[in-house]
Amino acid sequence: MSRTHDLLRLLSDGRFHSGVELGKALGISRASVCHAIRALERLGVDIYAVSGKGYRLSEPCELLSVEAIRDELSPEISSLVPGIDVALDLPSTNADLLTRAGKGLPAGWACFAEHQSAGRGRRGRTWVSPFGGNIYLSVLWRFTSSASVVNGLSPALGLAVAEALQIAAVPGVGVKWPNDVVWQGKKIAGVLLDMAGESSGPCVVVAGVGINVSMPRSAADNIDQPWADIVQITSAPVARNHLAGAVLENIVATMRDFERDGFSQMAGRWRARDAYAGKRAALHLPTESIEGTVEGIDEHGALLFERAGRTLAFTTGELSLRGLAD
C-alpha cells in the first residue's frame, strides 16, 4: 500500500495530526508528508491545514479495507474470492482486471478503488467517480461457455446489486433493464460488463459496479441523467465496508448461480423489482430509437417491448422515459 494511502488512513478519523506526528508514523520526512498531502488534494480529498495544529480531513471517512470487506463475506462465498484489492486511485477497476486477466488472474478476484480517473459507464459514457464517497468494484469471472451464452448476465447482476442494497437497508430500490438500479426513477447504481475470449469458446467477464453512496454535489454537476445516492435516500451514514461486502457477496453468488442455471431462476425476482414494466418508453438501439411499451423480460433476460401491436425481444439497447414524443 502506498504512503499516500497510509497517510489517508491516519487522517481518516477526522482529527488534527501534526506533520511531525504523521512523519514519525509513516517513517518519512515532513517534506514528504507535504508531498503526500498534495497528492491527496489532487485526488479531490478535502484537507484542512492549520498552523500549529497540522492536517485533518474536512470530515471523517470510512476507507475501504480488504480485511473488513472479507469479514462481511459468508464462508462459502469467501472461498470463491481468491483475492481482494483496494486501490487508492485507478483509471478503471474494469480495465485493471481485464489487463491482469490476460496474465492468468483467477476467477472471483475483486478490485475496489476509492477513486477512478477514467471510470466508464454504458454506451461510452463517463462514470463519475469522485474520491472516497461511493463504491467502485469490479469482479473477474471465467465462463467455460462462449460470450453469447452470457447475454442474461447483465440483468442478473443488476438484480444482484439491487438485492444487496436491500440487505444494506436501502428501501424502495428497483431495476431498469438491462442492469441499472433505480430509486423513484433516479439512477443509484449501474453495471458494466467487459468480455474477452473466443466467440465459440471460454470467455472472461469483468463485471464493474458503481454505486452512488454519498455523491458530492460538485461532482454531480457532471452527471447527465437523474440520479440519487444512498445518503439522500436514507438520511443516514453508510457503513461502506458492510455495503461493499454485501455487494461483492451477491455479485459472486450470482456469477456462480448464473453459470450453473442461467437467468431463468432469477427472472421472477427481477420482474418483482422491474421499475419500467407497463410504461411507455423509448428504446435506443445501435442504429435507431423506437417507442413502445415495456412488457418486462423473458426467461433469458431479453427485454420484451411492445410496438405497433407486436411484442419483440431485444438483447441490446437502452431504455429511457425522457424525450418521448407527445
Closest CA to 44 of 155, 128, 124, 108: 128
Q: Catalytic residue among 70, 100, 122, 256, which?
A: 122
**Cβ-based neighbour number of residue 287 at 10 Å:** 5
**232 burial class (0-12, 13-18, 19+ CB within 10 angstroms)?**
middle
Copy the grid coordinates of residue 34. 507535504
- Residue 70 and residue 246: Cα distance in Å, rounded? 10
> Does the annotation mark 186 as catalytic?
no
- Residue 160 and residue 62: Cα distance in Å, rounded? 24
- Say which DSSP state 38 is in: H
> Does the annotation mark 322 as catalytic?
yes
Beta bridge partners of 141: 205
H or E element that contains 188: strand 186-197
Q: Catalytic residue among 103, 217, 260, 322, which?
A: 322
- Say which DSSP state 105 is in: P
Q: Catalytic residue among 56, 120, 176, 187, which?
A: 187
| Side-chain half-sphere exposure of 186, counting CA atoms within 13 A | 15
> Does the annotation mark 269 as catalytic?
no
Catalytic residue positions? 122, 187, 322
